[in-house]
Amino acid sequence: MNRDTVIPPLNAIFQDVFDDPSLEVSDDMTAPDVEGWDSLSHVNLIVAVEKEFKIRLTTAEVRGLSNVGDFIALISRKAT
């Protein structure tokens, strides 16, 4: 799966999890850039991504992410 096919559903997940229909993901986006991105919403985000893309993310993979661009790359590698 390439990043162009990952971004639209990922964007929809972000909008749903953070209850903000105007939210648009970007490569350099991090938790402090999104209102309400706390530990609970982070878990909800990971679970929603795993369900949508039918993948499993390890704790090490998630900890290794420094921004949404890294997240998009990880999803692209793992999703088929």
Retrieve residue 71's tokens.
């997240």
- Where along the chain do its domains lie? 3-78
Query: pLDDT-derived band of residue 42, with 50, 70 and 90 as boundaries?
Result: very high
Burial 6-38 (b: 16+ CB within 10 A, else e): bbeebeebbeebbeeeebebeeebeeeebeebe
Retrieve residue 34's tokens.
């999104």
Q: Which CATH superfamily is domain 3-78 in?
A: ACP-like (1.10.1200.10)
Query: pLDDT-derived band of residue 15, with 50, 70 and 90 as boundaries?
Result: very high
Q: Is the pLDDT of residue 28 over 80?
A: yes
